[in-house]
Each structure stands twice: as C-alpha cells, then as structure tokens.
Amino acid sequence: MLPNQWLSQENSVVATDLLQRVGRTYRNVRSCYFEGLLRTEIEGEGFYQRIELPVVVSADKPDRMRVEIKHSLEGYLMVANGDYRWEFVPRLQQFTRVEAGTVRAAGFVSKPSSVLMSLLEDYSRLGQHSPRVRFLGEEDHIVGDRRVDCLLVEYSGPTPLRYVDESDQARILHIDPARNLVLQEDSNTAKGSTPYGWPAEVKHTLAVTKSIINEPLPDDLFAFAGPQGARQVSALGPNSAPSGLEASDFTLHDLNGRSVQLSNLRGKVVILEFWASWCEPCRYEMPVVEGFLQRFKDEGLVVLGVNDEDPPVARRYVEEGGYTFPTLFDKDQKVAGLYGVRAIPALFVIDRQGRIVGRHKGYGPGSEEKILDSLRKAGIE
C-alpha cells in the first residue's frame, strides 16, 4: 500500500510535487527501453474506429534511438545509430537511409510514430507549467509479472497523444511513485470527426507494459538491415486500394476452413465487407449487405465478410445474426492492409472484371443508397 501522507496532503501540492519528480527523472535518463500499447478510439454517429498498436521506444543518449510500431496496417520502424537514421514501413516494403542530423524531408510520417518520438521530451517537462493540477488517488497496474501501485494525476495541457494542442482538455497520468515513471496516459474527449464530417469523440491511451531505465541496452536495438523483399527509396509513400484499380488478389479460409481466392470469382460482382463483432455501425450495415445478397444473388452478386477475431467469436456473431454470406478469417490483417482498411465497417464493391468500383467507410444516413449506386456501376440492376 502507498504511504498515507500521499493521500492526506493537499491535492494540488501532492500532484505538483509528483509531476516535478517525474520531470526530473525523464530529464536525467541516460538510456531507456519501453514497450506498450497505444490505443485510439473514435466514436461518432454511425461510426466507430479502434486501433491498438503495440509499440517500442528505446533511447541511448546522446544519439541512438529506436521507435517501433508492430501492426499490419500502421507498422513503422525508425532506427538511429549516431551515423545514420533508417525508416521502414512494412506495409509498403520501403525503407530510407539518411545521415544522422539530416532534416526529414516532407513525405510519409505516421502520427503514432510522431507521438512516440515526442513523449520522452514531453514527460521531461512535467511539473514546469501545470495549471489546474489535481491528485485523483491510486490504482493498481500490472507491468510484466508484477503489480505496481500507481498514483493518478490529472492536469490540463497539450499532449502528443492528441496530435494537436488542446490545452483546455485534461490528461490523466498513472505514475509509479517508486521510480517516478509514467505507466499510462489517458487523453479523452478530444475533438474529431467521422468520415461523414459529423462530430466524434476521440480517446487516446498509452499503457506501458515493460520499462527499463539507465541499464545497458544491446547494440542490435540500434542496428538496421533491410528485410528481404524491401527496397530502399528516397521518400516513403503510402499505398492503398483506390477505386478504378484492379482489386488485390488474396486467399483466405472461411470459418469452416474452406479456401476462398478472390480471383476465382471473376465474372461475379463481389462485395468485400470488413467487420467485427464489437463494431456498433457494423450491426447496422451487415443486415443491409445481407439484404443486397438475397436481392441480387441471382444476378451474380457474391458477398465475402472479412474478420480478424477468433473464429468462434465471429461464428457466434454470424449465427446469431442469421448471415448467409461466408466470413473469411484475416488473422494478421494482411488483406485489410492490402485494401488500406483503417476503420470499420469498410465495404468494397468489385465488378465482374475484378476492378474496384466503390469503397465505403462507416455507416450512416444515405449509406445504403451509395452502396446500391456502386452495385449499379458494377453491372447489378
């Protein structure tokens, strides 16, 4: 348990003192290694998006650093060894190499990676300017194989987690008082918008699952070798599946273990429906898609659901909803990556020649008619 004096002192005094301790700790870090999970949730009318990114941040002063995001869609790696800096995007199979100290050229920069690279500097400034500081109490955290009693501090101020300066919004830090380290940050009620332009609430959470401070780090953390199949480029560039282009071929198994290859469906009109059981807008869109299937299957319409959840979870949802179209198991989100899917529901209409003629994000008023328009472009009347 935590000492009673932590809980009996004046709120703002306790909180300010704690933030100052944390700031000093991060300013004095010589080397560090953090693993964690960066979660972003965006919720608005007819739209819900959740992205969870396993992350690694490591630094060895003065000039070695590693930032890694392990995710099929948002994957990213930056390695600096003092002489060179490399950036690698697995989804694109591209990497760059520049001399250390070179100013980054305009181009591909992922928001999550920018967040991670600025967090250490941000935490080193804690306690210097902290208006409206409040001590909230204590909470247990599991870090690795141990339990940590954390103190919670709320204060107003900009945070890298939001990507923008919203200084009137509160951020909550979960702090290990024994080591003066931030083990979790929550940043809620930031302003955002859905693909329809409607207001949305954005929630960001960064939870640390492993932390090492001021201990020797292995040299291979700060070494880079281009993976097999990757190519060096002068500037990284995004890739997606825009309308009018040929749909990327893939092979996946359905929930009954049967293999399905997209290219074998040439001559049919195909709807690809990316969905999940926890996705509220999917609950509205999937019955509409089932209705289209029943209405147009005699004209050659085929529907393929794509889901990355455990098959028993997806199967139960499909059975309860009475959906007759097959759902394919996209375990590592490789197909989602091929199609640039970052939010669900995401729906693609593919014509009989295998070209994408419509792509639809989210579900809201007018979505049904827009999907129907895409089906007409594909030859469904």
* pLDDT score, position 39: 87
Task: Supply angle C-alpha 129, 132, 135, rounded to 5.
Answer: 105
Is residue 179 one of the residues assigned to a domain? Answer: yes
* pLDDT score, position 167: 47
Please identify, among 232, 262, 282, the residue that sits at the C-terminal boundary of a domain: 232
Quick one: DSSP state of residue 313?
A: H
Same domain, 110 and 223: yes
* pLDDT score, position 106: 38
Residues in the chain: 381
Is residue 239 one of the residues assigned to a domain? Answer: no
Looking at the DSSP bridge assignments, the partners of residue 351 are none
* pLDDT score, position 1: 45
Is residue 241 one of the residues assigned to a domain? Answer: no
Same domain, 34 and 139: yes
Query: Could you read off the pLDDT of 121-148 as tens digits, one per residue?
Result: 888 888 876 567 888 888 888 777 788 8
What band does 110 get if pLDDT is binned at 50, 70 and 90?
low
Mean pLDDT of 251-264: 93
Q: Which residues neighbour 106 within 8 Å (Cβ) at sequence distance 6 or greater?
A: none
SS3 of 326-371: the string is CEEECCCCHHHHHCCCCCECEEEEECCCCEEEEEEECCCCCHHHHH
Q: Which of 60, 32, 5 is nearest to 177 (CA)?
A: 5
Q: Is 202 exposed, middle or buried (0-12, 13-18, 19+ CB in 10 A)?
A: buried
Same domain, 68 and 163: yes
| Dist CA 187 CA 162 (whole Å) | 7
Same domain, 28 and 147: yes
Which amino acid makes up residue 319? Answer: E
Same domain, 167 and 214: yes
Q: Which residue has the higher pLDDT, 81 or 339?
A: 81
Same domain, 261 and 126: no
Is residue 257 one of the residues assigned to a domain? Answer: yes
Query: Could you read off the pLDDT of 268-295 as tens digits, one per residue?
Result: 999 999 999 888 888 889 999 999 999 9
Query: Could you read off the pLDDT of 291-321 as tens digits, one per residue?
Result: 999 999 999 999 999 999 889 999 999 999 9
First-last CA distance in the chain: 69
Q: Tell me the range of 94-98, 333-337, 354-358 where mean pLDDT is highest.
A: 354-358
Mean pLDDT of 89-118: 68
Is residue 240 one of the residues assigned to a domain? Answer: no
Q: Tell me the two tokens of residue 70.
A: 């392990």
Query: Could you read off the pLDDT of 186-236 as tens digits, one per residue?
Result: 886 656 655 555 677 888 888 999 999 999 999 999 999 988 888 887 777
Helix 11-27 vs helix 111-124: crossing angle, to nearest 10: 110
Looking at the DSSP bridge assignments, the partners of residue 328 are 254, 306
Same domain, 186 and 330: no
Same domain, 255 and 225: no
Examine the pLDDT at 241 and tell me if it is beyond 90: no
Please identify, among 197, 232, 267, the residue that sits at the C-terminal boundary of a domain: 232
Same domain, 32 and 75: yes
Looking at the DSSP bridge assignments, the partners of residue 171 are 155, 187
- Tell me which residue range forms the domain holding 160: 4-232
Phi, psi of 57 (to 5 degrees): -130, 125
Same domain, 119 and 189: yes
Same domain, 212 and 349: no
Examine the pLDDT at 108 and tell me if it is beyond 50: no
Q: Is 180 exposed, middle or buried (0-12, 13-18, 19+ CB in 10 A)?
A: buried
Q: Is 355 exposed, middle or buried (0-12, 13-18, 19+ CB in 10 A)?
A: middle
Q: Give the strand pairing for 346-350 and 269-274.
A: antiparallel
Q: Which residue has the higher pLDDT, 260 or 230?
A: 260
CATH number of the structural domain spanning residue 311 = 3.40.30.10
Same domain, 192 and 298: no
CATH number of the structural domain spanning residue 150 = 2.50.20.10
Examine the pLDDT at 327 and tell me if it is beyond 80: yes
Query: Could you read off the pLDDT of 18-53 as tens digits, one per residue?
Result: 999 999 999 999 999 999 998 888 887 766 777 788
Mean pLDDT of 153-164: 67
Number of domains comprising the chain? 2
Give me the sign of the Cα torsion angle 99, 104, 106, 111. positive
Quick one: DSSP state of residue 246?
A: B
Mean pLDDT of 246-250: 88
Mean pLDDT of 322-328: 94
* pLDDT score, position 102: 61
